[in-house]
A and B are shown apart, each in its own frame.
Chain A
Amino acid sequence: MNDLTDLSDLTDPAASGGHDAVTVPVIEHAIELTVNRARVRATVEPRTSLADFLREQQMLCGTNIGCEQGVCGACTLLVDGAPARSCITPAVACAGASVQSIEGFDDDPAMRELREAFRAEHALQCGYCTPGMLMTARDIVTRLPDADDARVRLELSGNLCRCTGYVGIVRAIRRVLEARRARAAAPAALLAGA
């Protein structure tokens, strides 16, 4: 069979030697959760990760998948407001939870500042790690307002950038931290007109 588009021998067990077809049971659960502030009802297999659920069932492809073992940080997003690895979190375990993926931050003030800082400081090259980097960066600037560069690097150690563009990423986060600290220190009267 030379026709490369004919895959019948791969999909039909009988055509490839007649061995018994293996029936894999499909287990599905109905879940209800919040995705980027919208209520979502869906049916998922327990083996489906949150990352795959978002990408393949919700068509939210901003979450990138790298290592699928919780090491690279590319798939980091917020579950109930806290960063989590969506590649090792089953979607079914997020029933009832509020999930916020990179698509859900258009009007988020901290994320808007970070996006501008990432652009100004060339904090992305290929962009693959960027959604996860932004999630961790947002966690740093909101949870650790006094972080210095050493702390920023420590907190970023769970996000790998294959382009090794860490200097720009650290600079971008520092830029946002400094801007937020300056605003916090400014007298309220000055902010009133801003």
Chain B
Amino acid sequence: MKPPVFDYARPLTCADAFAHPDLADGMAKFAAGCQSLGPMMNLRLAQPGMLVDLRAIAALRECGAQGDAAVLGACITHAEIEDGKVDDGTQGLMPHVARGIAYRAVRNRGTLGGSLAHADPAADWINTMCALDAEFLVSGPRGARTVASADWMLGAFTTALEGDEILTGVRYRRLSPAARWAYYKFNRKPGEFAEAIAIVIDDPAAGTCRAVIGAIDGAPHRIDDARALLAPGADAGLPGRHVEAAGLDADSYEFQVHRVALERAIAIVQRHGRNPL
């Protein structure tokens, strides 16, 4: 199908983007790579009257280090992360995740910020940023603010972002060289949205050990202290209890898939330290 009529603007600065008159009536939408919004508009699931394209705003592509934190601009593409063109500081985790997002033609245009603002529960970055305990950097006509990882996603396709605000980037603590991590995504065909995502990040130097159960109905379920899951001889029933705590019915297929994903992520960390290349 084809999208309905809409207008288009490509501002060069955030200030110009905020000043767009159509934002006031709620019919304008900020867009970046359009790899989710494009299909939704073609299917007429989304019908914004005005698309404000953020890709020409140079500030949204700025990345850098702030002390022991990494900052990534929202308009960095999945392919740029996959190719290691930005210093993401995650010891290979983010390039690994990026390589599994959809297909290369999609990764060339789809952006980190676009995916996070879209907030599909089954998408990769929304779960990865939760596991990294990232801060979401938001800018709007009323100024800049940061949103904590736990407060970002309010539900499926719903974030703390107001209609006239832009996600400008994310900031998270860089992983130390000894950090162990695993990313296990279950989908029937490469590139499809996940049926289950499990992430484990163990960074003793930073004193953190987190796990995430993702691709559930709403926001990711984070286990803030996952050390018991990784301990040798850990209780075999523990992963299942966490998946139940994430809201999955123990008799369901979804529970089974998420439990196995979490167990496999744990096994990767225990056996290999990180996902094998």
**A168 contacts the other chain (CB 8 A):** no
Instruction: Verify if B35 is at the interface (C-beta below 8 Å from A).
Output: yes
Which B residues lie within 8 Å of A73 (CB)?
103, 105
Is A12 an interface residue, CB under 8 A from the partner? no
Knowing A70-B35, A89-B38, A157-B191 are in contact, say whether A47-B4 is a contact too (CB < 8 A).
Answer: yes
B59 within 8 A of A: no
User: Do A84 and B2 contact each other (CB < 8 Å), given the known contacts A46-B51, A69-B39?
Assistant: no
Structural contact, A83 and B5, CB atoms closer than 8 A: no
Would A154 and B106 count as touching, CB distance under 8 A?
no
Question: Which of B1, B51, B79 is the one whose CB lies under 8 Å from A82?
Answer: B79
Tell yes or no: A187 within 8 A of B by CB. no
The answer to whether A83 and B104 touch (CB under 8 A), given A24-B5, A27-B7, is yes
Known: A136-B105, A155-B104. A88 touches B42 (CB 8 A): yes
Query: With A82-B79, A82-B108, A90-B34 given, is the CB distance from A157 to B103 under 8 Å?
Result: yes
Which A residues touch B102, using CB under 8 A?
158
* Chain A residue contacts of B105, Cβ below 8 A: 73, 76, 83-85, 135-136, 158
Taking the complex as formed, is B61 at the interface, i.e. its CB lies under 8 A from any CB of chain A? no
Asked if B157 is at the interface of the complex by the 8 Å CB criterion, the answer is: no
Residues from chain B with a CB closer than 8 A to the CB of A79 are 108-109
The answer, yes or no, to whether B142 is at the interface (CB within 8 Å) is no
Q: Is the interface of B mostly helix, strand, loop or mixed?
A: loop
Q: Is A93's CB under 8 angstroms from B103's CB? A: no
Cα of A83 to Cα of B10 in the assembled complex, Å? 22
User: Nearest-CB distance from A12 to chain B (Å)?
Assistant: 22
Confirm or deny: B189 has a beta carbon within 8 angstroms of a beta carbon on chain A.
Answer: yes
Q: Which residues of B112-142 have CB atoms within 8 Å of chain A's CB atoms?
A: none
Interface residue from B10, B34, B38, B103 paired with A158 (Cβ < 8 Å): B103
Q: Which of B8, B35, B104, B191 contacts A46 (CB 8 A)?
A: B8
Q: A29–B6 Cα gap in the complex (Å)?
A: 11
Chain A, 69-95, contact with B by CB distance < 8 Å: what is the 0/1 string?
111010010010011110111101101
User: With A and B bound together, what is the CA distance between A79 and B104 in angstroms?
Assistant: 13
B-side contacts of A87, CB under 8 Å: 38, 42
Interface size on A, residues (CB 8 A): 36
| A182 CB, min distance to chain B CBs, angstroms | 25
Q: How far is the CA of A47 from the CA of B8 in the complex (A)?
A: 9
Interface status of B26 (Cβ within 8 A of chain A): no
Chain B residues positioned under 8 Å from A27 (CB to CB): 5-8
Instruction: Determine which residue in A83, A93, A95 has the highest number of CB atoms from chain B within 10 A of its CB, and name it.
Output: A93
- Whole-angstrom distance between the Cβ of A42 and the nearest chain B Cβ: 14
| B190 interface hit (Cβ, 8 Å) | yes
Q: Is A149's beta carbon under 8 Å from chain B? A: no
User: What A residues does B109 contact at CB under 8 A?
Assistant: 79, 84-85, 89
Contacts of A69 in B (CB 8 A): 39, 42-43
B53 located at the interface, meaning its Cβ lies under 8 Å from any Cβ of chain A in the complex = yes
Please give, as numbers and ranges, the residues of chain B lying within 8 Å of A139 by CB-CB distance: 104
Bound Cα distance from A20 to B191, whole angstroms: 47
Residue of B nearest to A75 (CB): B105
From residue A49, how far is it (CB to closest CB) to chain B in Å?
7
Whose C-beta in chain B lies nearest to the C-beta of A46?
Answer: B8
Interface contact B79-A89, CB-CB below 8 Å? no
B-side residues, CB < 8 A to A, are: 1-8, 10, 34-35, 38-39, 42-43, 51, 53, 55, 79, 102-106, 108-109, 189-191
**What are 27 A-to-B residue pairs whose CB atoms are below 8 Å?**
A47-B3, A49-B42, A52-B2, A68-B1, A68-B2, A68-B39, A68-B42, A69-B42, A69-B43, A70-B35, A70-B39, A70-B106, A82-B108, A83-B104, A84-B105, A84-B108, A85-B105, A87-B42, A88-B34, A88-B35, A88-B39, A88-B42, A89-B38, A93-B8, A93-B53, A93-B55, A158-B105
Enumerate chain A interface residues (CB-CB to B < 8 A).
24-27, 29, 45-47, 49, 52, 68-71, 73, 76, 79, 82-85, 87-90, 92-93, 95, 135-136, 139, 154-155, 157-159
